[in-house]
A and B are shown apart, each in its own frame.
Chain A
């Protein structure tokens, strides 16, 4: 079993850290993992993306041209990565900031209203965990328990008090994701 995932959005949306948590979760389950970020000036406001590969076997290339799952959080990322989803693959997007919705018919497309939910629920900073929750609902590559352990491992100890909010956000994401 291998899952090749791209997560893309604006810098500051928590794209890279969402990927990191996913990678740590894979580590918790003894999977092979690879996390390869865009590391340019994107991190500070432009578009940022990260490739995460979780696999039961050794991982070859960290650089991919097609993905099983694309998580898209802004229009430039949709323009770039909609065409890179494998046939039959999954595209998840938050239409906050998306002007032209995805149109492909040969993939499964899901919408998650994460940005608005994060604001209304009062945990804006856990926005990315809502999105992660949505993805885990569709593709339970790793268990929620592993995600929580991965989160604990990737967060500095001083932030551990935020773990319950993050768990709440993940569960919320599982609840609100819907197929378009």
Chain B
């Protein structure tokens, strides 16, 4: 069967993909530039078809705690927001990491700090990949660069979250959320039945059958020796994720003298920069991390001895640049170009920055 190609915004693609994935619930609170996620879910009314709950909570804090509750029952639940709202959710995310609960969180970033602007930004990179909430935890982070990936990363995010019992985040921004492109949506999957959840998530708090000890979901452990053991278990899990779940894309990197490293919307912009530079005979390639955590350090390191320089382009003051420098162990010069506060750099601006480092 030929799949129907649709034209929609990145935000809308997330909503449709969530219904089709068989998500059990979405809890959110509106904020630009991601309100179309909840708007689309409300329009689609999946509670009448798949049974998926869609609820506008009274606040971001309420929404993330509803996600905690749903996840504790082994359900496929999600929330979405934009930067200021994601800051409000950090406590809940940390608690979910501590309680090892799987969930999907979408951040369609806007310029900050504070209430900032509603225009696109990537300034929440540190918050997302270095741990925005308290404690030694990691958040699986996917950075879509197209409307198609917005749709695809819903399933990927949920699958990774449930594989590792850890929250996962789709880290997009206003460009990817608001633009319309062609997309092929995934097939409909049935929601998990209670029997399936009991079998696949034996830790879920779905009511205690006779003869089984109660399941307890908590991040609290007052005995520090046990808490250290918990932390060591988390760390072991994080190393496994780092070893197995790295995703990245390479564009014209094989013969490149220089690399641009960029994610999400910046990577789309820099695809054009690469086109422009190649037309002028500059051998440059684009390396695009798709998972920001785990970061594709090993793949990037391979280029360290082969290339003359790296330019990282971000919609922030230079955040991923730190992970790039760590990855290449400063064996190759790493330059940075970015625009701040909601200003989106154009392909020629990035080209100018590239030429300045040649």
| B72-92 to A contact mask, C-beta < 8 Å, 1/0 | 000000000000000000000
Tell me if B316 counts as interface (CB < 8 A to partner A).
no
14 contacts between A and B (CB under 8 A): A27-B5, A33-B181, A34-B181, A39-B178, A40-B118, A60-B347, A61-B268, A62-B179, A62-B181, A62-B265, A62-B269, A63-B268, A63-B345, A65-B348
Judge whether B346 and A64 touch: CB under 8 Å. Answer: yes
Contact of B179 with A33 in the complex, beta carbons under 8 Å: no
Residues of B within 8 A of A (CB): 5, 7, 32-33, 118-119, 174-175, 178-182, 265, 268-275, 344-349
What 1/0 flags go to A62-83 for Cβ under 8 Å of B? 1111100000000000000000
**Complex Cα distance A20/B274, Å?**
28
In the complex, what distance in Å separates the CA atom of A41 from the CA atom of B119?
10
The answer to whether A63 touches B347 (Cβ under 8 A) is yes
Report if A63-B7 is in contact (Cβ < 8 Å); known contacts: A34-B181, A39-B118.
Answer: no
Complex contacts, A24 vs chain B, CB 8 Å: 7
Distance A23 CA – B7 CA, assembled complex (angstroms): 8
Q: Is there contact, CB below 8 Å, between A65 and B347?
A: yes
Chain A residue with Cβ nearest B174: A39
CA distance A65 to B269 in the complex (A): 10
Q: Nearest 8 pairs between A and B by C-beta?
A: A60-B271, A61-B272, A65-B346, A35-B180, A36-B179, A60-B272, A61-B269, A65-B348
CA distance A36 to B349 in the complex (A): 19
Taking a contact as CB atoms under 8 Å apart, the answer to whether A36 and B7 are in contact is no
A41 CB, min distance to chain B CBs, angstroms = 8
Instruction: Check: A37 CB closer than 8 A to any chain B CB.
Output: yes
Which A residues between 96 and 149 are near B, CB-CB below 8 angstroms?
A: none
Q: In the complex, what's the smallest C-beta–C-beta distance from B115 to chain A, in angstroms?
A: 14
Within 8 Å CB of A62, what residues of B? 175, 179, 181, 265, 268-269
- Contacting residues, chain B, for A34 (C-beta < 8 A): 179-181
CA separation between A36 and B175, bound complex, in Å? 7
CA distance A60 to B288 in the complex (A): 13
Nearest Cβ distance between residue B272 and chain A, in whole angstroms?
Answer: 4
Nearest residue in B to A34 (C-beta to C-beta)? B181
- What residues of chain B lie closer than 8 Å to A36, measured between beta carbons? 175, 178-180
Bound: A67/B274 CA distance, A: 18
Which chain B residues lie closer than 8 Å to A40 at the CB level? Answer: 118-119
Output the nearest chain B residue to A30 by Cβ-Cβ distance. B5
Complex CA–CA separation, A66 to B347 (angstroms): 10
Q: Please judge, given known A-B contacts A36-B178, A39-B174, whether A60 and B268 are in contact too, CB under 8 Å.
A: yes
Are B180 and A23 closer than 8 Å at their CB atoms?
A: yes
The CA of A33 and the CA of B5, in the complex, are separated in Å by: 12
Complex CA gap A23/B344 in Å reads 22
- A20 contacts across to B, CB distance below 8 A: 180
Within the complex, the shortest CB–CB distance from A30 to chain B, in Å, comes to: 8
Q: A39-B32, A40-B119 are in contact. Are A63 and B175 (CB under 8 A)?
A: yes
Q: Which residues of B contact A60 (CB under 8 A)?
A: 268, 271-272, 274-275, 347
Contacts of B268 in A (CB 8 A): 60-63
Interface centre among A24, A33, A60, A65 (most CB of B within 10 A): A60
Assembly CA distance A92 to B271 (angstroms): 29
* Nearest-neighbor residue (CB-CB) of B118 within chain A: A40
Cα A65 to Cα B268 in complex, Å, equals 14
Query: Given the complex, which residues of A lie within 8 Å of B32, measured CB to CB?
Result: 39
**Minimal beta-carbon separation of B148 from chain A (angstroms):** 11
In the bound complex, residues from chain B placing their C-beta under 8 Å from that of A65 are: 346-349
Q: Which chain A positions have C-beta within 8 A of B275?
A: 60
A36 and B174 CA atoms in complex are apart in Å by: 10
Residue of B nearest to A39 (CB): B178
Provide the residues of chain A in CB contact with B271, threshold 8 Å. 60-61
Please judge, given known A-B contacts A60-B272, A61-B271, A65-B348, whether A37 and B119 are in contact too, CB under 8 Å: no
Query: How far apart sit A64 and B345, CA to CA, in the bound complex (Å)?
Result: 9
CA distance A33 to B9 in the complex (A): 12
The closest CB in chain B to the CB of A37 belongs to B178
- Taking CB atoms, residues of chain A closer than 8 Å to B33 are 39
- Among the listed A33, A35, A41, A63, which residue makes an inter-chain contact with B269, where contact means beta carbons less than 8 Å apart? A63
Report yes or no: B179 in contact with A35, Cβ–Cβ below 8 A.
yes
Question: Which residues of chain A are near B344, meaning CB under 8 Å?
Answer: 63
- For B269, the chain A residues whose CB sits under 8 A away are 61-63
**Which residues of chain A come closer than 8 Å to B349, judged between CB atoms?**
65
A59 to B349, CA, bound (A): 19
Q: Do the beta carbons of B265 and A63 come within 8 Å of each other? A: yes
Q: Give residues 45-65 of A contacting B (CB, 8 Å).
A: 59-65
What separation, in Å, do the CA atoms of A65 and B276 have in the docked complex? 12
Residue of A nearest to B349 (CB): A65
A61 & B180 in contact (Cβ 8 Å cutoff): no
